[in-house]
């Protein structure tokens, strides 16, 4: 059971990492060329705020 859990964990972690590698080039194509840098920077800023806030939410 432990080996199966470990294998499933590693497969899911690999899938999540692959999805993050795909999302940035895909997101760049969603924005118009004139706003692309600003929009991707703003998106990265908001996601960084989420990374800071999430640990505090788990304690509520």
Ramachandran class of 9: left when φ > 0, alpha when ψ lies in -120 to 50, beta otherwise: alpha
Q: Give the residue extent of every domain in the chain.
A: 25-60
**Rounded to the nearest 5 degrees, what angle is found at the Cα of 22, between the Cα atoms of 41 and 7?**
125
Q: What pLDDT, on the 0 to 100 scale, is given for residue 35? A: 87
pLDDT tens, position by position, 26-58: 877 887 888 888 888 888 899 889 889 988 887
Residue 20 has pLDDT above 90, yes or no: no
Q: What pLDDT, on the 0 to 100 scale, is given for residue 28? A: 76
Top-confidence residue, 14 or 37:
14
Please state the separation of Cα 32 from the chain's center in Å: 22
Q: What is the value of pTM for the model shown?
A: 0.51
List the end-to-end C-alpha distance of the chain, in Å, as a whole number.
Answer: 33
Q: Which residues contact 27 (CB under 8 A, 6 or more apart)?
A: 40, 43
């Amino acid at each position: 059971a432990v080996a199966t859990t470990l294998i499933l964990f590693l497969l899911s972690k690999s899938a999540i990492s692959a999805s993050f590698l795909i999302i940035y080039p895909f997101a760049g194509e969603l924005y118009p060329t004139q706003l692309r840098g600003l929009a991707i920077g703003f998106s990265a800023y908001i996601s960084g705020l989420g990374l800071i806030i999430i640990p505090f939410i788990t304690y509520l």
